[in-house]
Amino acid sequence: MGGNILGERFAAMSFGESHGRCVGIVVDGCPAGLPLAESDIQGQLDLRKPGQSAVTTQRKEEDRVEILSGTFNGLTTGAPICMLIWNKDADSRAYEAIKNIPRPGHADYPAMVKYGGFADYRGSGRFSGRLTATLVMAGAVAQKLLKTTLGIETVAYTSEIGGIKAGNITKANIATRYSNDVRCPDPDAAEKMRDAILKARKDGDSLGGVVECTSTGLPVGLGEPIFGSLESDLSKALFSIPAVKAIEFGSGFEGSKRRGSQNNDVYYLEKGKVVTKTNNAGGILGGLSTGMPLVLRVGFKPAASIAKEQETLDVSKNEQTKLAVPGRHDPCVVPRAPPIVECVVSMVLADHALRAGLIPPVLKVGGK
């Protein structure tokens, strides 16, 4: 399958390249009867698209989604849903000059070897962050499916950039996360993060950071034993996002420093429902959802394309050379990542909900 398909029951196949004609995705397995319009997808794409602020790439793309199949009279039919967006502001000139000079921190060299020099190197081709738009398209469908049928909602936000950590995170300010350039609910931290990104850009450099994600409304028991665990499938999917280098659930690495008596979540009854007093497990035990909120964090490395001069190798001459990466790039990918993380998590949850039989193949929405 070449690594381009994700999921078993809610399955998505991504296609396209950064500087090709378009990027898109085909979703198979979405039940019939789900109300779905291009506007449902567009809202999430608008949160991810480039050129929205000084802390992101200045590539201008409308990212206007087109649904080519799988819907009729505003409802899904049960057939594969094909969605795409056209690339309209690709500038490939800078990449011709460096096609034999692998950029540090990029997949240029391993892709060159793996595909025998035939891979599209313009804008990183299939390895570009541009392809996250395809994940957002599929994830937006999954989000609507989960909310409509099971009431599951997923929200993500920037919790750290360049070592600057957000504090004072509440349900109320999480709702305002898209009101600033860096998508951080803590306005004081957001301002510091923005300043740090602009300073890094001025220095010809970049920053990394962390996105935190929470899903609520999950039933108990989503996930399968061992290789189909919820953590396994979420991790696989989240690592498909370019620049992701770390994932933790619940207390994560911090929990590894504690004793079991400090990290175990104690069960009790609340209004007749089994819950835990803490949620250090992040809502997953044994690879199965516990019914508590699913909490995970995703670590993004500093953006690899930087204007600062670096040493590398010209593979056409086998000579060391220096390179300042040309083109328009994000000085930090984190501000554009929250909607991507939300959508990828939703794809996995939708897949597992369908596998568990919690969502029927034909929906009866609105009593129809």
- The DSSP-derived string for 16-78 is E-TTSSEEEEEEE-PPBT-B--HHHHHHHHHHH-SSSSTTS---------EE-SSEETTEE-S
Q: Are 223 and 240 in contact (CB under 8 A)?
A: no
pLDDT at site 53:
66
pLDDT at site 367:
42
pLDDT at site 93:
76
In this prediction the pTM is 0.94
Beta strands in the chain (DSSP E): 5-6, 11-16, 22-28, 66-67, 71-72, 75-76, 81-86, 153-161, 164-165, 209-216, 244-249, 267-270, 273-276, 284-285, 288-289, 294-300, 310-314, 319-323
pLDDT at site 49:
79
Polymer length of the chain: 368
Bridge partners (DSSP) of residue 212 are: 157, 297
- Residues of the chain below pLDDT 50: 1, 366-367
Buried b (16+ CB within 10 A) or exposed e, 32-41: ebbebeeebb
User: Which domains, ranges and CATH numbers included, belong to the chain?
Assistant: 5-367 (3.60.150.10)
- Helix 132-150 with 38-48: angle, nearest 10 deg: 130
Tally Cβ neighbours within 10 Å of residue 209: 28
What is the torsional sign of CA 82, 341, 16, 181?
positive
119: left (phi over 0), alpha (psi -120 to 50) or beta: beta
pLDDT at site 329:
80
**Nearest of 154, 14, 132, 22 to residue 87 by alpha carbon:** 22
pLDDT at site 170:
87
**Nearest of 8, 102, 39 to residue 349 by alpha carbon:** 8
Q: Are 50 and 327 in contact (CB under 8 A)?
A: no
- As a whole number of angstroms, the distance between CA 142 and CA 150 comes to 11
